[in-house]
Amino acid sequence: MFEILFHKCPEGYHYEFEKEFSSKFVRITLHHHRKYDFNLGKPVSTVWGFYNKKTGAFYSPVDSKKPGKMIDIHKTTPYSGMLKPTVTSIEG
Residues 32-71 have pLDDT tens digits of 887 777 777 778 899 999 999 999 999 999 999 999 999 9
Residues β-bridged to residue 58? 51, 71
Give the DSSP per-residue string, the chain: ------PPPPTTEEEEEETTS-SSEEEEEEEE-S--GGGTT--EEEEEEEEETTT--EEEEEETTEEEEEE-GGGSBTTBSSPPPP------
Per-residue pLDDT tens over the stretch 4-31: 778 999 999 999 999 999 999 999 999 9
How far CA 50 is from CA of 13, 44, 57, 62, 88, in Å, comes to 18, 18, 8, 10, 29
Check pLDDT > 80 for residue 87: no
Q: What is the pLDDT of residue 40?
A: 78
Question: Where does the pLDDT of residue 1 fall: very low under 50, low under 70, confident under 90, or very high at 90 and above?
Answer: very low
Query: Looking at residues 70-75, what average pLDDT do you find?
Result: 93
